[in-house]
C-alpha cells in the first residue's frame, strides 16, 4: 500500500511518544532492546549503491523537483497520482527506501534465532527420511553429510505485502550477504543456512520496473572505471550472485483480494512481511484489513512466520455499536491473531504464537559516513513477529510434549 513520509522521524526531530488513549487493553511495556549482530558499514554502503545506481536518475535538482511533486500528492493523500508514474515511483524509492532497507537488513539479522528455528523445522518436515531410506549404509550417509544438503538448495520464500518500493528486496539481500560474509556459525552464534532468497512483492501501485531495477542492482557488480586498480577490480562484486536471489512482483490491491487470492499469493511462503503498511491498511478499512489477516491465518502453513513492522504509536478508529474509539494498531493485530484467554482456557486451538514484540525500537545509522546523494534517516519502529501454530488443541500438544 502507499506509504507517506509521516512514518519517518529523524533523530534530531524526535518527538514525545503520543499519550495513549484509554483502550481496552494497554500496550505492554517491553524490555530494553540492544542491537546485536550489526550489519557492517561496507555492506550498508553496497546497499546504498544499489539505490543510487537504480533509482537516482537525473540531476539532484531534477530529482528534488520530482520529490516535491510526490510530497504534495502524499500530503493530499492522493496516492493514485503520487504512485501513478515511473518517475514518481523511482523518486519515492530513491528518497525513502534506502534508509528503510538498511533498517530492514538489521531487523532480519536480529531475528536470526527465530529464522534458524524456522529453517530447522522446514528441514525436518521436507527431509525426514522414510523407512526405506533410513536404512542407508553408513558410508552413503557420510557422503551425503559432506555434500550440500537438499534443504540448503531450496530458497527461503518471502512474501512482502506492500513491499513495492524495494526496501524489503534490498534489505533482505544485505542480510543474506551478511550471513555469507560472517564468521562460520558456532554453538554460541548459530546462523541460518540459506543459499537462496525468493522474494515475491505485492503492492497496489505498479512497482515492477523499480523492483526489477533493484534486483538487477543487487546481482550486478558496480560499475568501475577502466582505470581502476587491479585490487579494486578483484574486490568488486555484486551484493549477491544471481543464483542466490530471485525477485517477482505483482500489482494487486490487498484489501480487494479474496481468500482464494491470498492463498495463491502464499504458495510456498515461509515468511510474510507487512512493513510500514498495516497501519495504512487499517486507516483505509479496518474491516477489510481484518479480513486480510483472517485469510492469512487460514492459508499460512504451520510454522511459517508473519513479521509486522510499522510506526510506533499507530492508532486506528473502530466503530462499535455506533461509538467510535481509537485502538492501537498492536491491539487490533493481537485481537485478530491471538486467541482470547477465555478461549485458551477452554482448550481452543491456538492459531498464532507471538515470538517477538516491541512497541518502540530505533535503528540508528552508523557513526561512519555513508555516501548517498539524499539525506539518510534513523528509523523508529514497532515490531511484532508471529508464528503460525499447528492448530492442535492445547491438551493434545501438551501430551505430545
Q: What is the CATH number of the domain that holds 366?
A: 3.40.50.150
Q: How far apart are the first and last CA of the chain?
A: 41
pLDDT in tens, 319-352: 655 667 788 888 889 989 986 554 555 566 779 9
- Is residue 286 included in any domain, yes or no? yes
- Is residue 23 included in any domain, yes or no? no
pLDDT cut 90: percent of the chain above it: 51
pLDDT in tens, 272-321: 999 999 999 998 899 999 999 999 999 999 999 999 999 997 776 666 55
Widest Cα–Cα separation across the chain:
73
For residue 274, list its beta bridge partners: 161, 308
Print the domain residue range for 335. 38-125+151-400
Residue 55 CA to residue 316 CA, distance in Å, equals 33
Count: domains in the chain: 1
- Is residue 229 included in any domain, yes or no? yes
Cell numbers for 258, please give them: 479474496
- Is residue 321 included in any domain, yes or no? yes
Residue 222 CA to residue 242 CA, distance in Å, equals 14
Q: What is the pTM of this model?
A: 0.81
Residue 66 CA to residue 70 CA, distance in Å, equals 6
Residue 47's H or E segment, with its range, is helix 41-55
DSSP of 275-296: ES-HHHHHHH-HHHHHHHHHHH
- Is residue 358 included in any domain, yes or no? yes
CB 379 within 8 A of CB 103: yes
- Is residue 56 included in any domain, yes or no? yes
Q: Which of 305, 276, 78 is nearest to 161 (CA)?
A: 276
- Is residue 12 included in any domain, yes or no? no
Averaged pLDDT of the chain: 80
CB 361 within 8 A of CB 383: yes
pLDDT in tens, 170-192: 999 999 999 888 756 555 666 66
- Is residue 288 included in any domain, yes or no? yes
Amino acid at each position: 500500500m502507499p506509504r507517506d513520509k509521516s512514518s519517518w522521524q529523524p533523530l534530531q526531530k524526535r518527538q514525545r511518544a503520543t499519550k495513549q488513549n484509554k483502550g481496552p487493553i494497554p500496550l505492554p511495556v517491553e524490555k530494553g532492546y540492544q542491537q546485536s549482530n550489526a550489519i557492517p558499514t561496507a555492506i550498508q554502503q553496497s546497499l546504498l549503491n544499489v539505490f543510487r545506481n537504480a533509482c537516482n536518475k537525473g540531476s539532484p535538482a531534477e530529482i528534488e523537483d520530482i520529490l516535491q511533486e510526490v510530497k504534495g500528492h502524499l500530503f493530499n493523500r492522493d496516492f493514485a497520482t503520487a504512485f501513478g508514474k515511473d518517475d514518481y515511483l523511482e523518486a519515492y524509492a530513491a528518497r525513502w527506501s534506502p534508509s528503510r532497507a538498511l533498517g530492514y537488513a538489521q531487523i532480519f539479522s536480529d531475528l536470526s534465532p527465530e529464522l534458524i528455528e524456522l529453517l530447522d523445522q522446514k528441514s525436518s518436515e521436507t527431509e525426514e527420511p522414510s523407512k526405506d531410506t533410513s536404512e542407508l549404509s553408513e558410508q552413503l550417509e557420510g557422503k551425503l553429510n559432506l555434500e550440500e544438503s537438499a534443504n540448503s538448495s531450496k530458497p527461503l520464500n518471502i512474501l512482502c505485502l506492500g513491499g513495492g518500493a524495494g526496501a524489503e528486496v534490498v534489505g533482505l539481500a544485505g542480510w543474506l550477504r551478511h550471513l555469507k560474509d560472517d564468521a562460520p556459525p558456532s554453538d554460541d552464534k548459530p546462523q541460518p543456512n540459506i543459499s537462496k532468497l525468493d522474494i515475491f512483492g505485492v503492492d497496489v501501485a505498479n512497482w515492477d520496473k523499480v523492483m526489477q531495477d533493484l534486483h538487477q542492482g543487487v546481482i550486478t557488480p558496480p560499475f568501475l572505471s577502466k582505470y581502476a586498480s587491479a585490487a579494486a577490480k578483484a574486490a568488486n562484486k555484486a551484493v549477491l550472485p544471481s543464483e542466490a536471489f530471485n525477485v517477482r512482483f505483482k500489482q494487486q490491491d490487498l484489501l480487494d483480494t479474496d481468500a482464494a487470492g491470498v492463498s495463491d499469493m502464499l504458495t510456498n511462503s515461509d515468511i510474510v512481511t507487512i512493513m510500514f503498511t498495516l497501519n495504512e491498511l487499517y486507516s483505509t478499512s479496518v474491516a477489510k484489513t481484518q479480513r486480510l489477516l483472517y485469510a492469512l491465518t487460514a492459508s499460512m502453513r504451520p510454522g511459517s512466520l508473519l513479521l509486522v513492522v510499522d510506526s510506533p504509536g499507530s492508532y486506528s478508529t473502530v466503530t462499535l455499536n455506533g461509538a467510535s474509539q481509537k485502538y492501537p494498531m498492536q491491539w487490533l493485530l493481537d485481537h485478530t491473531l491471538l486467541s482470547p484467554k477465555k478461549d485458551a482456557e477452554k482448550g481452543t486451538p491456538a492459531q498464532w504464537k507471538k515470538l517477538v514484540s516491541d512497541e518502540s525500537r530505533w535503528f540508528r545509522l552508523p557513526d561512519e559516513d555513508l555516501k548517498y546523494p539524499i539525506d539518510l534517516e534513523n528509523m523508529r519502529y514497532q515490531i511484532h513477529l508471529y508464528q503460525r501454530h499447528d492448530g492442535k488443541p492445547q491438551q493434545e500438544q501438551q501430551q505430545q510434549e
